[in-house]
Structures are given as C-alpha cells and as structure tokens.
C-alpha cells in the first residue's frame, strides 16, 4: 500500500519508475517524502517536480494506489 511507504520506499519506486518509463532529469531530492506525502501531490505536483515525465510518474503511482 503506497500510503504506508517510507521515504526510502518512495525513492525506490521513483528509481524503478524512472528506469521503467525512461524518464530523465529526475531530482530525487524533490521527492523526499513518505507515502502519505506523495499521496497528497496533485498531478501538477508531479509535473512541477519532473517537467518531462511527471504525468507518467503520477499515473503509475496512482495505479498502484488504486490497486492497494
């Protein structure tokens, strides 16, 4: 359940997702939050942090959230 993720879990998912979807120029320090924190980010929050690919990351994260 992504809502229960630690900061470490968020960073592990971010690493996996950026490699999986070939998203470039991702600053991990912009995602220093736990699962509850990332759940509160709107789509614009992802795009603000990752202008080229934030929408892809948002969609992947929310698929996981809905499946939990």
Average pLDDT on 9-31 reads 97
**Domain range for 24:** 2-67
Q: Tell me the C-alpha distance between 42 and 21, whole Å.
A: 20
Instruction: Give the span between the Cα atoms of 1 and 64, in whole angstroms.
Output: 8
- Write out the two tokens for 20: 């999986």
Specify the number of domains making up the chain: 1
- Averaged over 28-38, what is the pLDDT? 97
- For residue 45, the domain's CATH number is 1.10.150.50
How confident is the model at residue 54, as a pLDDT? 98
Q: Average pLDDT of the chain? A: 97
Ordered DSSP codes for 23-52: --S--GGGG---HHHHHT--HHHHHHH-TT
22, 65 Cβ separation under 8 angstroms: no
The pLDDT confidence band at residue 58, using thresholds 50, 70 and 90, is very high
Q: What is the pLDDT of residue 60?
A: 98
Q: What was the pLDDT predicted at 8?
A: 98
Average pLDDT for residues 30-42, to the nearest whole number?
Answer: 98
């Amino acid at each position: 359940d992504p809502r229960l993720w630690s900061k470490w879990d968020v960073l592990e998912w971010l690493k996996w997702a950026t490699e999986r979807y070939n998203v470039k120029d991702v600053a991990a320090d912009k995602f220093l939050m736990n699962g509850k924190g990332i759940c509160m980010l709107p789509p614009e929050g992802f795009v603000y942090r990752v202008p080229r690919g934030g929408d892809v990351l948002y969609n992947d994260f929310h698929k996981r959230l809905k499946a939990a």
